[in-house]
């Protein structure tokens, strides 16, 4: 099954360009019919309006199709529009110039800059408007208030239409990215539930029974516990690209087990993919320490808070706790596991990781990270 063709979000603007081109050409034709006897070269006026009609038909057919809106065609549109307008001195009489009669292209000339704005954005629309405005001044052979006014209107319309086209494309891209993220998250959560109801429960049972039996079974329990952690990490991860964002809430929820309770806000907590990965890694390391040091009967609680300016992840357990100075002594002896895995990662993200523990009252890590990286910046 072939992938569907991506629709240009600016298609409604292109349709407006096509309609405006046809309407303005009919207006130019009416002007030529009304003043056919006043031109100094009527045959040239009919020729130019005929070329305008042919270009109106050809460009309209091209702009109506998404694969016909080529860059070179839009540039040619602006160039041809300006060139046709510059034939006005050979068509209009001195009396018509004195009476400020419209140039041979009339308002039809304004469509080229709008097409450029739709194709290239605000900058392209303004540049095309300036080109046509200069052409108007050359064709008028003067720069007066009317010429300046026309130039301002051309540039302003190009700016506004260009901004609208850019906004439409960026909004469509953001929506598509959000839909892809939502679909990927839903699939990962479905997969996690399926694995949790089968493989992870078996591994957890093997780990508990092995620790109860002891001996060689304890080694199997340790291996089952490692594989359980690795499998949860695999399910909670997804391929990322530089600049991507990821939902920290969904990633942490996948770490929940019968002995680990995860509490998160109702909505998504979108951070850069790198920050999300690091916070999940910190949480997994803290839960791994609970597994290693608090025993199989210990419980842990993970709390995620989105405070706007920062994100706080708290990991608490009901284990025996850590005596004061133990981590400092371990660091002095060269055992830097906690320092590197938790505090080091938090510091690399511009945040902090604070440990609150004492013998007999469990352990709690509070990790705070600035939320300035929400959009991957």
Query: What pLDDT, on the 0 to 100 scale, is given for residue 321?
Result: 75
Cβ contact 238:184 at 8 Å: yes
- The answer as to whether 218 is a domain residue is no
Q: 285 and 137, same structural domain?
A: no
Q: 249 and 375, same structural domain?
A: yes
- The answer as to whether 198 is a domain residue is no
3-state secondary structure of 357: strand
Q: 146 and 45, same structural domain?
A: yes
Q: 284 and 139, same structural domain?
A: no
Tell me the residue range of the domain where 124 lies. Answer: 11-172
Long-range contacts of 52-57, Cβ-Cβ distance < 8 Å, separation of 24 or more = 52/25, 52/28, 52/84, 52/105, 52/108, 53/25, 53/29, 55/80, 56/21, 56/22, 56/25, 56/108
Q: 25 and 123, same structural domain?
A: yes
Q: 150 and 19, same structural domain?
A: yes
- The answer as to whether 233 is a domain residue is no
Number of domain units in the chain = 2
H or E segment at 366? strand 363-370
Query: What pLDDT, on the 0 to 100 scale, is given for residue 247?
Result: 82
pLDDT 10s digits, 171-209:
888 888 778 777 777 776 676 666 655 666 677 777 677
Q: Which of 172, 188, 207 is the last residue of a domain?
A: 172
Q: 253 and 135, same structural domain?
A: no
- The answer as to whether 209 is a domain residue is no
- Rounded CA separation 347/54 (Å): 66
pLDDT in tens for each of the 377 residues of the chain?
Answer: 333 445 788 899 999 999 999 999 999 999 999 988 889 999 999 999 999 999 999 999 999 998 889 999 999 999 999 999 999 999 999 888 888 888 999 999 999 999 999 999 999 999 999 999 999 999 988 888 888 998 999 999 999 999 999 998 888 888 887 787 777 777 766 766 666 556 666 777 776 777 667 776 767 776 776 666 666 656 655 555 555 778 888 888 878 777 788 898 887 888 888 898 899 989 988 888 887 777 667 889 999 999 888 999 999 988 887 766 556 565 555 554 565 678 888 888 999 988 887 777 788 889 999 986 554 44
Q: 263 and 135, same structural domain?
A: no
- Rounded CA separation 289/339 (Å): 13
- The answer as to whether 339 is a domain residue is yes
The enclosing domain of 296 has a CATH number of 3.30.565.10
Long-range contacts of 324-331, Cβ-Cβ distance < 8 Å, separation of 24 or more = 324/358, 327/355
Q: 251 and 131, same structural domain?
A: no
- Rounded CA separation 306/264 (Å): 9
- The answer as to whether 63 is a domain residue is yes
Query: What pLDDT, on the 0 to 100 scale, is given for residue 331?
Result: 55
Query: What pLDDT, on the 0 to 100 scale, is given for residue 142?
Result: 85
- The answer as to whether 50 is a domain residue is yes
Q: 157 and 247, same structural domain?
A: no
- The answer as to whether 207 is a domain residue is no
DSSP calls for 324-349: TTHHHHHHHTT--HHIIIIIIHHHHT
Q: 157 and 255, same structural domain?
A: no
Q: Which of 172, 202, 227 is the last residue of a domain?
A: 172
Q: 248 and 166, same structural domain?
A: no
Query: What pLDDT, on the 0 to 100 scale, is given for residue 116?
Result: 94
């Amino acid at each position: 099954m072939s992938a569907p063709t991506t629709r240009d979000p600016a298609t409604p603007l292109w349709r407006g360009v096509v309609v405006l081109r046809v309407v303005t050409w009919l207006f130019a034709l009416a002007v030529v019919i009304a003043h056919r006897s006043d031109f100094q070269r009527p045959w040239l006026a009919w020729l130019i309006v005929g070329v305008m009609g042919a270009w109106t038909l050809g460009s309209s057919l091209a702009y109506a199709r998404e694969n016909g809106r080529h860059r070179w065609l839009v540039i040619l549109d602006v160039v041809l529009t300006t060139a046709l307008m510059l034939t006005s001195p050979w068509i209009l009489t001195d009396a018509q110039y004195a009476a400020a009669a419209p140039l041979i292209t009339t308002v039809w000339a304004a469509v080229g800059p709008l097409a450029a704005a739709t194709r290239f954005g605000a900058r392209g629309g303004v540049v095309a408007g300036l080109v046509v405005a200069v052409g108007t001044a050359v064709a008028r052979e003067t720069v007066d208030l009317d010429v300046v006014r026309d130039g301002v209107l051309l540039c302003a319309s190009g700016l506004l239409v260009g901004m609208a086209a850019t906004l439409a494309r960026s909004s469509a891209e953001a929506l598509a990215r959000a839909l892809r993220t939502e679909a990927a998250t839903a699939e990962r959560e479905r997969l996690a539930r399926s694995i949790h109801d089968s493989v992870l429960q078996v591994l957890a049972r093997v780990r508990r029974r092995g620790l109860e039996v002891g001996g060689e079974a304890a080694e199997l329990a340790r291996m089952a516990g490692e594989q359980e952690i690795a499998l949860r990490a695999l399910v909670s991860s997804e391929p990322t690209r530089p600049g991507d964002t990821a939902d920290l809430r969904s990633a942490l929820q996948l770490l929940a087990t019968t002995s680990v309770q995860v509490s998160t806000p109702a909505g998504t907590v979108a951070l850069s993919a790198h920050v999300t990965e690091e916070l999940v890694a910190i949480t997994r390391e803290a839960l791994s320490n609970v597994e290693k040091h608090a025993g199989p009967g210990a419980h842990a609680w993970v709390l995620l808070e989105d405070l706007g300016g920062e994100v706080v992840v708290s990991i608490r357990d009901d284990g025996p706790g850590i005596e004061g100075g133990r981590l400092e002594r371990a660091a002095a002896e060269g055992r830097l596991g906690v320092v590197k895995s938790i505090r080091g990662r938090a510091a690399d993200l511009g945040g902090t990781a604070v440990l609150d523990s004492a013998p007999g009252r469990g352990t709690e890590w509070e990790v705070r990270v600035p939320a300035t990286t929400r959009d991957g910046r």
